[in-house]
Amino acid sequence: MDDAGERDRTAVREANDRFYRAFESLDLAEMDQIWAHGDEVACVHPGWNRLHGWEEVRRSWAAIFQSTSEMRFTITDVRAEVRGDLAWVHCTENIISETRGRLSITAILATNVFERHPGGWRVVHHHASHILAPRDPEPEAA
Amino acid sequence: MDDAGERDRTAVREANDRFYRAFESLDLAEMDQIWAHGDEVACVHPGWNRLHGWEEVRRSWAAIFQSTSEMRFTITDVRAEVRGDLAWVHCTENIISETRGRLSITAILATNVFERHPGGWRVVHHHASHILAPRDPEPEAA
């Protein structure tokens, strides 16, 4: 990969980090800065149905932030690929959270799609899900 | 969107359809045709851990096809967005399947990333997950 490609990839990884810092901040204004604001935006929170368009996605963050007193991520297994003005990232979100006084640690798999905007890379798609079975080609036989 | 953009979007939706027809075929040779074959490939089957690289992803399809006698999809809520040579699609997979004599119907949320190759659009990333909670901003309070 050439230097420009490597720079793009680094910029996307930084945007991915900013997304999780914004999440930890529990501050909707931070999320406003990192997401695109169009109809093309979609989001799947772990176990939820898919949300479409920034308005609906933004409301979901407002609800999550309202019910969460603290959220800390350690992001591992990050891979970022860039093609022109679009990039996809996948990573594992290792989450320590306290919701209504209950502490929990969870590993979540995330796919994040970023688009290059004039001000930097913006999230256009977030899909996060739980691991329900051990890594095995035939989970039901495990 | 201009004509070229609309044509691209249609081509990506067709590639998405081909992916599910290949899945239904339970034929690994069909999957070989629709996926990219590089290290950038990754796949999350519902509830599984993430698989990396075409070799590992291909083995998972082999295992799934081996243990599945029939699989039928109805794909709904399809949205496709194209930027240059990269595209992301999200959709709902309504699955009727028979595994070891047991029939089941399941709705799965999928995010599929496609890259434009000389022979057409190829899958580089598939992330599929179950809906575990009703659509609600605070699932735990539902």
Q: Provide the ipTM.
A: 0.90
Between residues A112 and B72, the one the model is more confident about:
A112
Band (A1; pLDDT cuts 50, 70, 90): low
pTM: 0.90
Q: Which range is least confidently modeled, A65-74, A77-86, A113-122?
A: A65-74
Residues 6+ positions from A19 with CB-CB distance below 8 Å: A34, A112, A123, A126
What six digits make up the tokens of A8? 């793009």
Assign A96 a pLDDT band (cuts: 50, 70, 90). confident
Contact between chains at A137 and B60 (C-beta distance less than 8 A): yes
Give B-chain residues touching A80 at CB under 8 angstroms: none
In this predicted model, what pLDDT tens digit does every residue of B73-87 receive, in sequence order? 999 999 999 999 999
**Residue range B94-120: average pLDDT?**
90
Mean pLDDT within A24-33 = 97
Dihedral-angle region of residue B120 (phi above 0 means left; psi in -120 to 50 means alpha; beta otherwise): left
Q: How far apart are CA A92 and CA A80, in angstroms?
A: 13
Q: Do B132 and A46 touch (CB under 8 A)?
A: yes
Task: Let me know the angle formed at the C-alpha of A104 by A101 and A105, rounded to the nearest 5 degrees.
Answer: 155
Q: Find chain A residues with C-beta within 8 A of B99's C-beta.
A: 140
pLDDT band of residue A140 (cuts 50, 70, 90) is: very low
Nearest beta carbon to residue B138 from set A63, A84, A136: A63
Rounded to whole angstroms, the Cα distance separating B54 from B41 reads: 6
Phi, psi (degrees; rounded to nearest 5) at B139:
-55, -35
B22 has pLDDT over 90: yes
Are A63 and B90 an interchain contact pair (Cβ–Cβ within 8 Å)? no
Distance CA B119, CA A70 (A): 48
Cβ contacts below 8 Å, chain A against chain B, sum to 126
A48 with B85: Cβ contact below 8 A: no
Residue of higher predicted confidence among A79 and B101: A79
Q: Which is more confidently placed, B102 or A62? A: A62
